[in-house]
Chain A
Amino acid sequence: MSALLLTVLLPLAGALVLALLRSLPLAGWINVAVSALSFAASAWLAWSVAAAGEIAGLGFRVDAFNVYLVVLTAFVGLTTSIFSRPYMRHVCKTGLTTERGMRVYHAMYQAFMFTMLLALTTDNLGVLWVAVEGATLATVLLVSLYRTPEAVEAAWKYFILCGVGIALALFGTVLTYFAAQHALADPAAGLTWSILYRHAGGLEPAVMSLAFVFLLVGYGTKVGLVPMHQWLPDAHSEGPTPMSAVLSGLLLNVALYAVVRLKMLVDGSLAGTASPHLAGYLLMGFGMVSFLVAGLFLHRQRDIKRMFSYSSIEHMGLMTFAFGMGGPLATFGALLHMLVHSLTKSAIFVTVGHAAHIAGTQRIDHIRGLIRTQPVVGWSLLLGVAAIAGFPPFGVFTSEFLLLTATMQSQPWLTVALLSGLAVAFAGLFRHLHPMVYGPAPEGQLPVRANLLPVVVHLGLVLWLGLSIPPFLVAWLDRATQLITGAHLL
């Protein structure tokens, strides 16, 4: 219990401290320290959950599904904070932002971590909503940190679109509460997920289907499902690089987690009716459309960060599709994919930040010859893109292989769509990547001070996960699969 409280409340305390702190160098170190402590606490929490099965109390609930997401969030938060410390100091020195902006940045970084961890560990659907909305609010100011017209536009679009989406999700939550009033003996507990899950069969199917549509549209906006994705490429490309890394790597996962938790409720409610797989079909539909559309849009991009944000949309679509299909194999694959995608995408964004720094611009046609100018950046980018495109022996290959196998088992014709989507995305990524890494380096392009430790660590982890997943992780994911689908994979 104390591990849980420490994990969640440390970032909150850190945010308060950083909001009051005036010294910029110290702020960077405190950010790293708080993230490190939070990661340690989350590792302790994971160990406790592995021993005890699950921990619940005070409105929180940590089981096998969300504990590994908590550890992942804390870990990526830590590595990104290590990267962001010197990066943001450099940004401040070059005048892209002010000292006051840096204070906002550091305080909001920890506030963002707090809201994400709160969303992952809470048992109350209302608090989940408050936390996801809080995560949006915490990052909105950070997207517009550089105060350029494009940044302000991206932040406004992000704010408005996500705000509207979240409001619809609140209506879905109200409808769920409404359904719970009749199914539960104690109506006041109608927002507690674990109680709702136990009594899911008694929830009125018509109400739950309507609620799920609203919840999917609402939280799906934050996942980046097409056609609610319009904010994602702008927000992920205009913010500072560490922000892009955490937004792409972590916030999308949290939103997808919320969708999956709610899908578990709806599946229980619709189990005896004429259309028991409605939630699954909806997820599959949105997921497949996002996957295909994002793969196509990838080709047209001229900004490197926008290109990788579309890649995020594509992968989130793939995961949504897999969760929609259901079944142990697809769910295991999707859980693994959440993990490896998070690690790879944040590593890529960090590398892209370096590449943009070397070339002085984010436009793809102006970034050339990275491998000649600074080989470590060029190689990182190459390996990162290879990883995200699904090359073996990286972990993404493993999870995509599992997903394809699952699709062949349950929906064989959709395998064609998946494979062609993967091929289109692969072509798009490498088409843009090749000149960036191998093209002729422009005159006077100099290497920069590189802080690629997070990249190395992340890609190393992804490689390890591709070659041999450690048994404890397999057991973890298997338990999570069992929680979600009711059946073990292994």
Chain B
Amino acid sequence: MSITQLPLLQQLVLVLAAIVLFTSFVLLAQARLVSAIHAFAWQGGLAAAVTSVVAAAGHTPHLYFSALLTLLLKALLIPWMLHRLVHRLELDRHVDLLRRPALVVMAAVALVIFSYWLVLPMVQQELTFTRNIVAISLAVVLIGLLMMVFRQQAVVQVLGFMSMENGLFLAAVSATGGMPLVVELGVAFDVLVAMVLFGVFFFQIRANIDTLDVDRLNRLTETGGEEP
């Protein structure tokens, strides 16, 4: 069955999911901090859009609530909190250059192919129209993980973590048609608390090492303890 046989709304879901994947690439390679936060906000907004179109196309109205929750939390509240933190930390014009952007982006493309291969046996027998998006959501999760590994600035690592959560939300929507409401609310609450704690941590780290480059946090080593 090819894409031409799907109704228009379902095609729109696929297009929006593809753009979500593109925003995770943009997040991965974006050097300017404020632009990275905007890219994350777009990713959240597009994930909410995917959810609402899935709700419309699949006639599952409870997903509208999840979409609204994601929009409010991931596209509005968390980017606003990050903006405020960046402003208070005076990092408005901070540029965190990726050392080898071409290699990292290629690794990300390899991760997309890997996640497609991983979920292929799982979704081949599936009949829902969102089954192809499971690979995309796993790719978003893994690219978020890649981002946390390769970027050294604390705020950007937090963006990677939040992007992983976006991918997980998308995975829940695409694979299972949304988790039960209790779980969704619990996960959203956890993410919000995590964001608040991250904010506290930025100030603690900066108070200690005068920078948010977490590579400088290296006093605890494996040879068993702090330097005297």
Contact = CB atoms under 8 A, between A and B. Distances in A.
A–B proximity contact (CB within 8 A): yes
B219 A150 contact: yes
A302 B209 CA distance: 24
Contacts of A174: 168, 171-172, 175-176, 179
Contacts of A190: 176
Contacts of A129: 183, 186-187
A171 B171 contact: yes
B168 A163 contact: no
B219 A153 contact: yes
A194 interface: no
A164 B122 CA distance: 23
A234 B222 CA distance: 10
Contact of A134 (B157, B190, B225, B228): B190
A388 interface: no
Interface stretch (B8-16, B29-37, B47-55, B197-205): B197-205
A38 interface: no
Nearest to A299: B224
Contacts of A207: 122
24 contacts: A127-B183, A129-B183, A130-B183, A147-B208, A148-B208, A149-B208, A149-B219, A150-B226, A152-B205, A157-B220, A163-B194, A167-B161, A167-B164, A167-B165, A170-B168, A174-B176, A177-B172, A178-B122, A191-B183, A206-B122, A234-B220, A238-B220, A297-B222, A300-B222
A137 interface: yes
Contact of A144 (B154, B177, B204): B204
* In the A-B complex, the 4 residue pairs with the closest CB atoms: A126-B183, A130-B186, A303-B225, A302-B224
A181 B121 contact: no
B104 interface: no
Given A137-B193, A303-B225, A152 B204 contact: yes
Contact of A156 (B171, B182, B217): B217
Nearest to A307: B224
Contact of A188 (B175, B180, B220): B180
B171 A154 contact: no
Size bin of chain A's contact surface: 35 or more
A247 interface: no
Contacts of B209: 149
Contact of B225 (A130, A155, A306): A306
Interface string A200-211: 000010110010
B183 A124 contact: yes
Given A126-B183, A130-B183, A155-B201, A178 B208 contact: no
Interface string A110-153: 00000000000000101101100110010011001001111011
Contacts of B71: none
A472 B87 CA distance: 60
Contacts of B226: 150, 303
Contacts of A181: 176-177
**Secondary structure type dominating chain B contacts:** helix
Given A133-B190, A152-B217, A163-B161, A303 B121 contact: no
A206 B119 CA distance: 10
A301 interface: yes
Interface in A166-222: 167-168, 170-171, 174-175, 177-178, 181, 188, 190-191, 204, 206-207, 210
Interface residues of B, number: 49
A178 B127 CA distance: 13
Contacts of B198: 159
Given A154-B220, A174-B175, A177-B176, A167 B168 contact: yes
Given A127-B186, A170-B168, A153 B220 contact: yes
A129 B180 CA distance: 13
B149 to A, nearest CB: 9
A224 to B, nearest CB: 15
A137 B179 contact: no
B40 to A, nearest CB: 15
A156 B180 contact: no
Nearest to A167: B164
A412 B116 CA distance: 40
A363 interface: yes
B111 interface: no
Contacts of B164: 164, 167
A42 to B, nearest CB: 23
A160 B161 contact: yes
B214 A156 contact: yes
B159 interface: no
Nearest to B208: A149
**Most B C-beta atoms less than 10 A away, residue of A130, A154, A362:** A130
Given A150-B220, A177-B179, A130 B148 contact: no
B180 A191 contact: yes
A175 B182 CA distance: 18
Nearest to A59: B182
B182 A126 contact: yes
Given A152-B217, A153-B219, A206-B122, A137 B190 contact: yes
Contacts of B119: 210
Interface in B129-184: 138, 141, 145, 148, 154, 157, 161, 164-165, 168, 171-172, 175-177, 179-180, 182-183
A126 B180 contact: yes
A141 B225 contact: no
A389 B154 CA distance: 40
A175 B218 CA distance: 36
A297 to B, nearest CB: 8
B114 to A, nearest CB: 13
Given A137-B197, A160-B148, A163-B194, 4 more contacts: A129-B183, A152-B201, A152-B205, A301-B224
Nearest to A133: B190
B118 interface: yes
B201 A156 contact: yes
A291 to B, nearest CB: 18
